[in-house]
Amino acid sequence: MAMIIPKSLKKGDTVALISASGATPEHRIERAIQAVEQLGFHVVVGETCRARHGYFGGSNELRAKELNDMFRNPEIDGIFCIRGGYGATRILPMLDLEMIKENPKVFAGYSDVTALHIVFNQQCGFVTYHTPMPSTEFIRPEMDDYTWEYFINSVTNTEWNDYFLENAKGQNMNTVVPGTATGELAGGNLTLVAASLGTPYEIDLKDKILFLEDIDENVQRIDRMLTQLSLSGKLQQLSGILLGAWTDCGPMDLKNAENNLTLDTVFEEILVPLNIPIIKDVTCGHVLPTMSLPLGKTVTIDATNKSIQVVG
């Protein structure tokens, strides 16, 4: 079944800012709102942006209700997650997926938001956008033209196909396993992808191109999660793999080097035997600059020539 492409946003459209995950630091909220307004959008600020329940942006019930309401409301044209953190998986059983399926909209965010991307792609059948977020990247002084361009093009040209996803200038993609493959783009944050296994919201990777990135996970933990995906049989179903940024994903033992493996060694031992095309060092993840990805669209990767093309 063909994926639904949400209607492109345009200047003057109304965008909701919500947190389906963590609580947003108070000092970031107004700057985040201003950053989105400067893009030409009218902003509706969800209660979850200012709410707090421990480390969550309000209770599970509030976060789920607000997300449902924003999809249901015909005056809301798009939904941007103001931040990640943790908590999206908590609200999955409370989402009205049938209603959301009937009201596809531009939905943008990344990191913990991966849990929602998986569900909206698979169970609601529409493309979503793995993008930087208003209270994290948008307000950072390092926010750059490359990142802005990818974000804006993603949300305002949703039907755009036949273009290449290219790294920022001076940053090279690298081949892990050569070859070409075509498939629907899926994935996001490795921790959330692994956490979906064994649940009703488990990621489907059959014939897909899997993108992975993470932050603040040592190499042993990354090894464990990739091993879990392998033992589950998920990795063996893939057409290809894209590896993004692994921010602050260093050695397990900072005192004894002999107790560590490198990320490249882990990739070599777990991913290379799959014998499918793999590209690493894709400019995407918890980094700046970062590209935006259309999750659910079909891409062709040429690992030999280090290219990624959105084809449908």
The residue segments making up the domain with residue 260 are 163-310
Same domain membership, residue 20 and residue 150: yes
CA distances from 305 to 164, 177, 241 (A): 13, 11, 14
Question: What is the full per-residue pLDDT of the chain (312 aa) written as tens digits?
Answer: 689 999 999 999 999 999 999 999 999 999 999 999 999 999 999 999 999 999 999 999 999 999 999 999 999 999 999 999 999 999 999 999 999 999 999 999 999 999 999 999 999 999 999 999 999 999 999 999 999 999 999 999 999 899 999 999 999 999 999 999 999 999 999 999 999 999 999 999 999 999 999 999 999 999 999 999 999 999 999 999 999 999 999 886 666 667 789 999 999 999 999 999 999 999 999 999 999 999 999 999 999 999 999 998
Same domain membership, residue 191 and residue 71: no
* Tally of CA atoms within 13 A in the half-sphere of 269 that contains its CB: 13
pLDDT for residue 260: 85
Domain count, the chain: 2
The answer for residues whose C-beta is within 8 angstroms of residue 143's C-beta and 6 or more apart is 132, 137, 288
pLDDT for residue 259: 77
User: Which entry of 130, 213, 239, 292 is annotated as an active-site residue?
Assistant: 213
Buried b / exposed e along 244-254 (16+ C-beta atoms within 10 A): bbbeebebeee
User: Which entry of 111, 135, 196, 292 is annotated as an active-site residue?
Assistant: 111
1 occurs within a structural domain: no
Same domain membership, residue 142 and residue 183: no
6 occurs within a structural domain: no
* Among 136, 156, 176, residue at a domain's last position: 156
Same domain membership, residue 297 and residue 192: yes
Same domain membership, residue 108 and residue 25: yes
What are phi and psi for residue 274, nearest 5 degrees?
-65, -25
171 occurs within a structural domain: yes
pLDDT for residue 102: 98
* Among 116, 141, 156, residue at a domain's last position: 156
Same domain membership, residue 272 and residue 222: yes
pLDDT for residue 255: 64
- In one letter, which amino acid is 118? I
| Active-site residue, 66 included | no
| Active-site residue, 27 included | no
Same domain membership, residue 180 and residue 51: no
Burial of 11 (0-12, 13-18, 19+ CB in 10 A): exposed
Strand pairing partners for 211?
187, 242
| Active-site residue, 286 included | yes
pLDDT for residue 242: 98
pLDDT for residue 134: 98
Same domain membership, residue 172 and residue 138: no
Same domain membership, residue 146 and residue 86: yes
Strand-by-strand arrangement of the 174-177 sheet: 163-164, 307-310, 298-302, 180-189, 209-215, 240-247, 278-280, 174-177
